[in-house]
C-alpha cells in the first residue's frame, strides 16, 4: 500500500526492467531514465523476464501477441529476431504506443529480446515512458507489470517457461 503511494508521488516518467542497459526505442527521441537509484529502490519488482526457450522467435511471437492483447496498445515498429535490419549482435525488439484511458495521453513502450549466451534462454526487457509530464503517478510501472503478467500467462499456454 505504502509503496503504491510512494510510486505515485515520484517525479519520474520513464521506467525500465533494466537500468544498466535500458532498451532503446526504435522510433523517437533516445533518452536514459532519470533518478535510477530511486527507481531501483521503488520499482525493485520490475525485472527482466528470463524465458527458457531454444527458439527466440517463439518468445518474440508470444510477446508480440501479448502486446496486441493489451488494452489501448498499438504496435508501431518491429525488429524481429534475424530480421534483415538487425545484425547478429543486436537484440530483437518491438515498440508500441499506449493511450491512457482518461486523458488520452500517448506513452511509448519498447520490448527487447536478448538470447543468453551459451544457454537456451531469452531475456525480455520492457521499458515504458510517458511523452509528456515529469511524473506518471505510477502508470508506467503498473503498465510494465500488467504486460509481464499477460506475457507470463501466454508463455505458459504455449508451454514456454519463465525462469
Structural domains of the chain sorted by starting position, each given as residue range(s) with its CATH number in brackets:
2-162 (3.30.310.80)
* Helix spans in the chain (H): 2-9, 36-42, 56-68, 139-157
| Whole-angstrom distance, CA of residue 43 vs CA of residue 160 | 26
Phi, psi (degrees; rounded to nearest 5) at 92: -75, 155
Q: Tell me the per-residue pLDDT of 35-68, one tens digit each, with 9 for 90 and over.
A: 788 888 888 999 999 999 878 899 999 999 999 9
Q: Tell me the per-residue pLDDT of 12-29, one tens digit each, with 9 for 90 and over.
A: 889 999 999 999 999 877
Q: What is the pTM assigned to this prediction?
A: 0.89
Instruction: Identify the DSSP state of 116.
Output: P
C-alpha cell, 118? 551459451
| Whole-angstrom distance, CA of residue 61 vs CA of residue 34 | 31
Please state, rounded to an integer, the average pLDDT across all residues of the chain: 88
Cβ proximity of 23 and 126 under 8 Å? yes
Amino acid at each position: 500500500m505504502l509503496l503504491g503511494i510512494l510510486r505515485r508521488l515520484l517525479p519520474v516518467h520513464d521506467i525500465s526492467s533494466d537500468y544498466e542497459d535500458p532498451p532503446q526505442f526504435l522510433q523517437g527521441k533516445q533518452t536514459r531514465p532519470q533518478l535510477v537509484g530511486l527507481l531501483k529502490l521503488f520499482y525493485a519488482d520490475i525485472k527482466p523476464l528470463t524465458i527458457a526457450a531454444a527458439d527466440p522467435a517463439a518468445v518474440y511471437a508470444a510477446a508480440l501477441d501479448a502486446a496486441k492483447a493489451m488494452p489501448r496498445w498499438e504496435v508501431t515498429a518491429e525488429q524481429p529476431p534475424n530480421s534483415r535490419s538487425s545484425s547478429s549482435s543486436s537484440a530483437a525488439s518491438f515498440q508500441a504506443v499506449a493511450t491512457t484511458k482518461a486523458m488520452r495521453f500517448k506513452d511509448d513502450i519498447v520490448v527487447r529480446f536478448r538470447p543468453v549466451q551459451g544457454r537456451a534462454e531469452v531475456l525480455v526487457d520492457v521499458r515504458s515512458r510517458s511523452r509528456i509530464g515529469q511524473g506518471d503517478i505510477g502508470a508506467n510501472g503498473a503498465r510494465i507489470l500488467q504486460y509481464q503478467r499477460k506475457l507470463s500467462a501466454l508463455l505458459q499456454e504455449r508451454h514456454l517457461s519463465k525462469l
